[in-house]
Structure 1
Amino acid sequence: MKILMATAYEYPHIGGLSTHVTTLKAGLEARGHEVDVLSFSNIQPVVRKLYAQGPSFVINKIKKGQGILWTHRVRQNCLKSLIMKNKHKNYDIVNAQDPFSTLAAVEAGLPVVSTVHGYATFESISKGSMIEGSPEAKKFQETEIKAYTSTRKIVTVDQRLRDYVKNVSGVEGLAIRNFIDIHSFKPDKNRKNELRVQYDVSVDEHVLFVPRRLVKKNGVIYPALALPAVLEKYPNTRLIYAGNGNQMPEIKKIVEEHGLEEKVTLLGDVPHEKVKDYFALADVVIVPSIHSAGVEEATSISALEAMGSGTPLIACAVGGLKEIVNPGVDGLLIEEQNVEQMSDAIIKLLDHPDEGAEMAKKARLKIEQQYSHIAAAEKYEEVYIEALK
């Protein structure tokens, strides 16, 4: 089968959608399919900057939400043109990764299966890009619903998203939870000290790792708030963030207020292939997601990668995280935004490293059995075949 993965966003980029596409592509190719990717990154840079991104920023300053509508219309139209130019490759199906690439492929006349990664409208509201209840938010959701009702099949990355799509559009989707490349993200603890030297991290420190985009729904301020209590018992502890976003200034403010400058490392965006090194050199991984403007974590790829990498995980009990973590068995779940519970959970894992190692071992086994990219590719293949009937 010839499959086209399409997204109206940049690819590759830092984030779960990009990781999903790369990993699913690898799984499908391993099963003998031919897979291409078309994205907004394939559009000429001058068009991206001058036609989509620049005007969007200015327009959104004038009327919040209008710029977001503008850039997504441009992205959709650009992607449609790109798909039309590539129709000669005779793709059997397009797997669209967002509402705008869905509509672009539909308008280009190709059969489409859509993967829903999140709550598009609510996520824009959560990021502060548009105002809840505004005409712009209503228009954005109308576009979202049009995509759901236009595609042949919908796959969502967790059950809650499946319910959301059904509630807003009446369309019944299929939940296929996120997955990881189990051959790439695997335990590598024998290189822990070597990697710490390579990345200028002390071999004597207790390392806490937060592999998240620095946005509100990811709850990234809470590990920094929990750190002072951890340092009282374990003063030789370092908190490392890998990610960027609008919460960076807030984290820096917390760091400054608590005098944590020597204990917190903000790496910014880290290439995905290097993130696995930080999993290997860390003692604890934290995925501190929260509810924000109706948005909750799906089946977090960051959490799955942590569980596949042999490092014990602390996650907040929201969204898909509650599905993938069996608390006390293959990770720890805590109440969202609860700083005391987070510091207590970190201290527990530092107090009892053998228990953490046992949880990490069971987490790896779960990933191999339930979250393999090869198994997920087989499920997607079945959806494609059904969509083409």
Structure 2
Amino acid sequence: MPYNIAMVSDNFYPQPGGVESHIYQLSSKLINRGHKVIVITHAFKGRKGVRYLTNGLKVYYVPFWTVYRETTFPTVFSFFPIFRNIVVRERIEIVHGHASLSNLCNEAILHARTMGLFTVFTDHSLFGFADAGSILTNKLLKFTLSDVDHVICVSHTCKENCVLRASLDPLMVSVIPNAVVAENFRPLSHDSVNPRRNSGPGSPQPLGSHDTITIVAIMRLFYNKGVDLLIAAIPRVLASHPNVRFIVAGTGPKAIDLEQMIERNMLQDRILLLGAVRHEEVRDVMVKGHIFLNPSLTEAFGTVIVEAASCGLYIVCTRVGGVPEVLPNHMTEFAAPEEDDIVAATGRAIAKLREGKVRTDLFHGQVKQMYSWTDVAERTERVYDGVVGAAGSEEFGGGDAARGRAGVRSFALIDRLKRYYGCGIWAGKLFCLCAVVDYLLYIVLEIFAPRSRIDMCRDWPKKLFEGDKAKTADLVEESDPLTRKRGLRRRVQKEEPDAI
């Protein structure tokens, strides 16, 4: 059964990142499976309004003010009129929010429940429980997820963290990992036009003691990505291994510290800083290396290490969060998030490559079999089926077990207030007040901006895939091939949306 789905998050292209890639790839695969998918995010520099991406994916870039790391300023209610207009004109049935720190995601789930829409949330991050920032974030997450239909996490560690933070029933949380388009991350040994195909990093031949080994690090230069560990470890690794060089790509507030380390140790000839790298250029950077170093302090999944392994790089990473679940042990060298352990793990990885103990030439094929966005889309579609199906089954007497697996069902305001009230002595009352004000605002919008005044948007014409041949035969009854082709052409022209 096809659904009309809205993906909502502050994180989307043109900003690079794992969440952004996840939303785009998942949306594209869901469109291929016959669903209608749009993306709602905030405006970026030089990009606002409505844009169409590949495969007919429509993106609404809403002009809101961003405050920190491309996250919009929280207003709770000002987003509702625009959100309602988009949802109504696109005939949205399911609102799927991404990232717990995304303000648009949290507000969209609140408004969607007020409008009686199904909601799904995907968590991509891990958070603590002790510091002030984590306490406030966890309370906000509890507010959002106390009235959501289903939750998806990208790893089992992420699921445990999310269940504890938001006090969720584990039965309403599913684990669906990220994936990678393996064909976009091929090693040099798989590039038939590359003259170095027999001597690239993916080659099984051991590296000699005098051969240069390149270590690649691609990350956002923020504290949680372990940049301080990287800055402390690089001089020690280079001092112990004279035939090693580094390539570091990424931007962030820690970039100045990295540059100062290079100046202080006079390592300009052994460390190459690339700055910001577009996602489509990441593969070109990775294939220049032999080892990928990821010193992150917290990571729910770590898509970048899967991309690096697909490019034929041996992975050195910290054993934190969901990282140990991502790749098998023969592809990775794990380290504790400590300077000494990272230096030791990097040394072990260099020694294994020089001795030929690691078959990095096999990594690409193995990653291609392990991760697929088509599989992620199929599993996400089953979540949607469970959410919509459980709602229908409850109308006919669905039990508590079904409600636990699918999530929250009732859209009645009194039932929603009961769920919010249980979020805390003071926070529960505040959440109830927000829900009541949101409901009153919805009534005002329905009265003074009725749905009859909102223009319904035409759907983008769907591509005809191999699996749609039977449906095509039903839609076009003519038996003559030429007549059928003309009929399809007229049908596509009739359904083509107006240019924006």
Name the TM-score class by shorter chain.
0.7 to 0.9
Match of 2:148 among 148, 151, 161: 151
Check if 1:372 corresponds to 2:369. no
- Report if the CA contact (8 A) 1:103-1:150 is conserved: no
Task: Note closer, same or farther for the CA distance 1:163–1:231 as it changes in structure 2 (3 Å cut).
Answer: closer
Residue 441 of structure 2 is matched in structure 1 by none
Q: Could you tell me the percent identity over the aligned residues?
A: 22
In 2, Cα distance between the equivalents of 1:13 and 1:286?
A: 22
Match of 1:239 among 239, 246, 266: 246
Written as runs of structure 1 = structure 2, the 5 A alignment for 1:80-91 is 81-82=82-83, 84-91=85-92
Question: Aligned partner of 2:319: which letter?
Answer: A
Match of 1:272 among 275, 279, 282: 279
Residue 31 of structure 2 is matched in structure 1 by 29
In 1, Cα distance between the equivalents of 2:179 and 2:351?
A: 28
| Offset of residue 52 of structure 1 | 2.6
| Offset of residue 239 of structure 1 | 1.0
In 2, Cα distance between the equivalents of 1:22 and 1:192?
A: 33
Residue 104 of structure 1 is matched in structure 2 by 108
Check if 1:162 corresponds to 2:159. yes
| Offset of residue 302 of structure 1 | 0.5
Residue 348 of structure 1 is matched in structure 2 by 351
| Offset of residue 118 of structure 1 | 1.1
- Report if the CA contact (8 A) 1:76-1:104 is conserved: no
Question: Aligned partner of 1:149: which letter?
Answer: S
- Report if the CA contact (8 A) 1:4-1:91 is conserved: yes
Check if 1:217 corresponds to 2:198. no
How many residues are matched?
Answer: 346
- Report if the CA contact (8 A) 1:223-1:342 is conserved: no
Residue 92 of structure 1 is matched in structure 2 by 93
SS in 2 for 1:114: strand
Larger CA deviation: 234-243 vs 107-116? 234-243
Is the helix fraction higher in 1 or 2?
1
Question: Aligned partner of 1:96: which letter?
Answer: G
In 2, Cα distance between the equivalents of 1:148 and 1:12?
A: 28
Written as runs of structure 1 = structure 2, the 5 A alignment for 1:286-365 is 286-290=293-297, 296-327=298-329, 329-339=330-340, 340-352=343-355, 354-356=356-358, 358=359, 360-365=360-365
Residue 425 of structure 2 is matched in structure 1 by none
| Offset of residue 174 of structure 1 | 0.9
Match of 1:18 among 20, 27, 31: 20
- Report if the CA contact (8 A) 1:242-1:267 is conserved: yes
Match of 1:114 among 117, 121, 125: 121
SS in 2 for 1:112: strand
SS in 1 for 2:283: helix
Task: Note closer, same or farther for the CA distance 1:223–1:44 as it changes in structure 2 (3 Å cut).
Answer: closer
Question: Aligned partner of 2:79: which letter?
Answer: C
Q: Which runs of 5+ in 2 are unaligned?
A: 50-60, 198-210, 390-500
| Offset of residue 188 of structure 1 | 3.4
In 1, Cα distance between the equivalents of 2:255 and 2:77?
A: 30
| Offset of residue 10 of structure 1 | 4.8
Task: Note closer, same or farther for the CA distance 1:75–1:19 as it changes in structure 2 (3 Å cut).
Answer: farther
SS in 2 for 1:150: coil
Task: Note closer, same or farther for the CA distance 1:74–1:388 as it changes in structure 2 (3 Å cut).
Answer: same
In 1, Cα distance between the equivalents of 2:15 and 2:77?
A: 18
- Report if the CA contact (8 A) 2:19-2:124 is conserved: yes
| Offset of residue 299 of structure 1 | 1.1
**TM-score, L = length of structure 1:** 0.78
Residue 177 of structure 2 is matched in structure 1 by 177
In 2, Cα distance between the equivalents of 1:139 and 1:220?
A: 25
Task: Note closer, same or farther for the CA distance 1:83–1:280 as it changes in structure 2 (3 Å cut).
Answer: farther
Residue 200 of structure 1 is matched in structure 2 by none
Check if 1:282 corresponds to 2:295. no
- Report if the CA contact (8 A) 1:10-1:41 is conserved: no
Written as runs of structure 1 = structure 2, the 5 A alignment for 1:108-147 is 108=112, 109=115, 110-119=117-126, 132-133=131-132, 138-147=135-144
Question: Aligned partner of 2:386: which letter?
Answer: E
Name which one, 1 or 2, has greater alpha-carbon Rg: 2
| Offset of residue 75 of structure 1 | 8.0
Larger CA deviation: 237-246 vs 339-348? 339-348
- Report if the CA contact (8 A) 1:8-1:76 is conserved: no
| Offset of residue 365 of structure 1 | 4.0
Written as runs of structure 1 = structure 2, the 5 A alignment for 1:182-193 is 182-189=182-189, 190=191, 191=194
Question: Aligned partner of 2:318: which letter?
Answer: C
In 2, Cα distance between the equivalents of 1:44 and 1:75?
A: 21
Question: Aligned partner of 1:107: which letter?
Answer: H
Task: Note closer, same or farther for the CA distance 1:231–1:139 as it changes in structure 2 (3 Å cut).
Answer: closer
Aligned CA RMSD, in angstroms, stands at: 3.1
Task: Note closer, same or farther for the CA distance 1:93–1:365 as it changes in structure 2 (3 Å cut).
Answer: same
User: 1:261-303 deviations in whole A, cap 9, x for unaligned?
Assistant: 222122222110000111222111111112xxxxx21110011
Larger CA deviation: 366-375 vs 211-220? 366-375
- Report if the CA contact (8 A) 2:125-2:158 is conserved: yes
Task: Note closer, same or farther for the CA distance 1:256–1:26 as it changes in structure 2 (3 Å cut).
Answer: same
User: 1:33-74 deviations in whole A, cap 9, x for unaligned?
Assistant: 3322111127959xx999633xx47xxxxxxxxxx9x94414
| Offset of residue 370 of structure 1 | 2.6
Task: Note closer, same or farther for the CA distance 1:119–1:224 as it changes in structure 2 (3 Å cut).
Answer: closer
Check if 1:52 corresponds to 2:53. no
Question: Aligned partner of 2:166: which letter?
Answer: S
| Offset of residue 107 of structure 1 | 0.7
Question: Aligned partner of 1:155: which letter?
Answer: I
In 2, Cα distance between the equivalents of 1:284 and 1:75?
A: 45
| Offset of residue 165 of structure 1 | 2.0
| Offset of residue 79 of structure 1 | 7.1
Task: Note closer, same or farther for the CA distance 1:50–1:104 as it changes in structure 2 (3 Å cut).
Answer: closer
Question: Aligned partner of 1:338: which letter?
Answer: E
In 2, Cα distance between the equivalents of 1:221 and 1:19?
A: 26
